[in-house]
Structure 1
Amino acid sequence: MGASAAHAAGVVAGTQIANTATATYDSGAASVSIQSNTVTVRVDELLNVAVTSLSANPTAAAAGTTVLTYRVTNTGNGPEAFDLGADPAISGNGFDPGVQSIAYDTNGNGVYDAGTDVILATGAPTAALAPDTSLTVFVLTTLPGSATDGQTGQVRLSATAKTGSGTPGTVFSGQGDGGGDAVVGTSTALDDALATEIARLATVNLTKSATILDPYGTQQPVPGAVVTYSLLATVSGAGAAGNLNVTDAIPAGTTYQPGTLTLDGAPLSDSTDGDAGQASPAGIAVGIGTLAGGSAKTVAFKVRIN
């Protein structure tokens, strides 16, 4: 399950620690050696856990799924499963991320792989982690519709020992590995960590302008004059606008002038082919694709007034 060693737990639960004492003495001319009875102590299971965030701080969140990454480490001394919980309702959040699911790393690469990494069923614990091993855990989130560019939201991942938790020293009789007791350690058998995401969103502004050239070399909108329409798409925000498309209908009373469609001054063919644009007597369409915040693209075309 992508577990790795942590080296913190101590003697493994269930270990039998046996000890026999020896005494030697002189009795007359003889030297005598005797042994005590053997005392055996079975090591109880210590319930401890540590949770840390492995995500960049903060993690950029946009449309689709955002993955927050954590490490859950069994710092106890016996194999233990853990109940996981993801809480997005954190005081001070600009927005509360939507929690889709919790998954764990099955191939050990530290990156969430959809279809490979296992999604935990609601309420199901992890498999038992050996002492001193860690599990990489992913919390899959989405942005709420109310989020605005630059806002942040936190998600708290908690891990609780399946055997139980409580104040340090709490004993769960007979529930330790190897048949002994389970004893809550200094972590209270419960730990959590926060990971932060920041909304990286984009807003598109589309501005349309027109210039006119009439048959007389002036700028009067008379029949026969050519109107050049310019459509300026400007993206603001820290994110990117994906699948950006610009369309415009040919106005009534005008005729599209073939071969005049351009993107940032570069000509586009009117037909539906390999380039970004297409045009017809009905209208024009240009597929710009993904445009980062702070960028702009200009679509232009010409019509003649009938």
Structure 2
Amino acid sequence: MNLMEASVTKGRILRAKHFFARRNMAYLAAASALFMGASSAHAAGTLAGTDIVNIAQASYDGPSGTVTVDSNPVTITVDELLDVTVVSGDPGDVATTPGVSAQVTTYQVTNTGNGSEAFTLAADTAKTGDDFDTTFEQIVLDTNNNGVYDVGVDTVYAAGTNDPVLAADESVTVFILSTIPATANDAERAEVELSATAVTGSGTPGTTFAGQGDGGGDAVVGSTGADGADSGFFVVQVADVALVKSATIVDPFGGTEAVPGATITYQIVATTSGSGSLVNLTIADDVPGDTTYVNESITLESAALTDSNADADEGSFDGTQIAVALGTIASGQTRTITFQVTID
């Protein structure tokens, strides 16, 4: 090979290297953008059914310039990964009381696979290791997507009939309704589990269901086994109130005899107990016969209350009965009320 031929050959090689370097950089940039976009949009990567197409290319210098030659295209269809997660939607234990029905625990089911998939739901209210078992009523789908169980609005779930179909990364809120047994005791807890299983199939990660994937490829069980579960908990919160009433007498002569004209001061001590709260607790007492109520004599924790039920304080007198509205009182609290009457 003479010097001129070597120079021409070297130039061709450099041009070819430059061409392939530019093409490979473009492919890498495109692949990187596709990967980043897929990562942010899809939990399991590229959507099932997507065709990955690759064509090789050669080039050389011809008499009239650069000539390129393409290979046959190779097309690979992305298979569907079957994955699902279930997460309790309650911020903590759901407070309840014995003997009540339609008690709700909340869950979020998310399709973490890369294709559209239907999921079968199941509830387990007989988990071991808790204090008592609830009675299962029904599973309900959050039809209006507000995250709150709405009676008569949200849809009752029936396995095999309205299994939720979720796109990749899509979630649905699910409620389990339970009845709390009357025998449940204060502070006891009950576990309620929701599970979701891919209808196409589940099992050991890597298990393949040929031709059953979304988009026409295979369906492959992902890292979750295509079967997710999580639990919510009820806690029984019972509250009670005990009343202790006493009376002191001051007669017109400075003594303590129950004679006409004597003033009786009644004291009522209300003490709450248990682990819950009493809602809208009101203490009431009838004015006894043969006595007359002393106007504006009601006190709460030694503070005077008015007799009118139209004002902002807690006290009222309706002509026959005094009442003190205490509102919601947590357990372990004490409230002391007094009022006065005179003996007729």
TM range (shorter): 0.7 to 0.9
Which stretch has the larger CA shift, 208-217 or 135-144? 135-144
1:32-43 → structure 2 map (5 Å cutoff): 39-43=74-78
Pick the aligned partner of 2:254 from 209, 214, 217: 217
Alignment-derived partner of residue 78 in structure 1: 115
Q: Deviations over 1:89-131 (max 9, x none)?
A: 2212223356665444966xxx734559x73422164643222
Matched, 1:242 2:279: yes
In 1, Cα distance between equivalents of 2:54 and 2:332: 74
In 2, Cα distance between equivalents of 1:73 and 1:286: 50
Alignment-derived partner of residue 294 in structure 1: 332
Alignment-derived partner of residue 86 in structure 2: 51
Matched, 1:193 2:230: yes
User: Post-superposition shift, 1:297?
Assistant: 1.8
Amino acid corresponding to residue 287 of structure 1 in structure 2: A
Structure 2 contact 314–324 (Cα < 8 Å) conserved? yes
Alignment-derived partner of residue 322 in structure 2: 284
Alignment-derived partner of residue 212 in structure 2: 175
Q: Deviations over 1:3-41 (max 9, x none)?
A: xx68541332222344567899xxxxxxxx998765544
Show structure 2 runs of 5+ residues with no match. Answer: 1-39, 60-67
Amino acid corresponding to residue 95 of structure 2 in structure 1: A
In 1, Cα distance between equivalents of 2:206 and 2:289: 83
Pick the aligned partner of 1:121 from 156, 159, 183: 156
Alignment-derived partner of residue 293 in structure 2: 256
User: Post-superposition shift, 1:226?
Assistant: 1.7
Which stretch has the larger CA shift, 98-107 or 40-49? 98-107
1:62-141 → structure 2 map (5 Å cutoff): 62=96, 68-97=105-134, 101-104=139-142, 112-113=147-148, 119-123=154-158, 125=162, 127-139=164-176
Structure 1 contact 84–125 (Cα < 8 Å) conserved? no
Amino acid corresponding to residue 77 of structure 1 in structure 2: N
Amino acid corresponding to residue 89 of structure 1 in structure 2: A
Amino acid corresponding to residue 337 of structure 2 in structure 1: V
User: Post-superposition shift, 1:139?
Assistant: 4.6
Structure 2 contact 96–234 (Cα < 8 Å) conserved? no
Pick the aligned partner of 1:12 from 47, 63, 67: 47
Alignment-derived partner of residue 61 in structure 1: 95
Q: Deviations over 1:136-163 (max 9, x none)?
A: 5455667554443322222212111133
Structure 1 contact 229–300 (Cα < 8 Å) conserved? yes
User: Post-superposition shift, 1:80?
Assistant: 1.3
| CA 1:77–1:19: 2 relative to 1, 3 Å | same
Matched, 1:304 2:342: yes
User: Post-superposition shift, 1:241?
Assistant: 0.8
User: Post-superposition shift, 1:193?
Assistant: 0.9
Structure 1 contact 208–229 (Cα < 8 Å) conserved? yes
Pick the aligned partner of 1:202 from 223, 239, 258: 239
Structure with bigger helix share is 2
Show structure 1 runs of 5+ residues with no match. Answer: 25-32
Higher relative contact order (CA 8 A, sep 6+): 1
- Aligned pair count reads 291
Structure 1 contact 82–125 (Cα < 8 Å) conserved? no
Structure 1 contact 52–193 (Cα < 8 Å) conserved? yes
Structure 1 contact 203–237 (Cα < 8 Å) conserved? yes
Under a length normalisation based on structure 2, what TM-score does the superposition of the two structures give? 0.69
Larger Rg: 2
Residue identity over aligned pairs, in percent, reads: 47
Structure 2 contact 202–225 (Cα < 8 Å) conserved? yes
Under a length normalisation based on structure 1, what TM-score does the superposition of the two structures give? 0.77
Structure with bigger strand share is 1
User: Post-superposition shift, 1:244?
Assistant: 0.7
Equivalent residue of 2:215, what SS? helix
Alignment-derived partner of residue 269 in structure 2: 232
RMSD, aligned α-carbons: 3.6
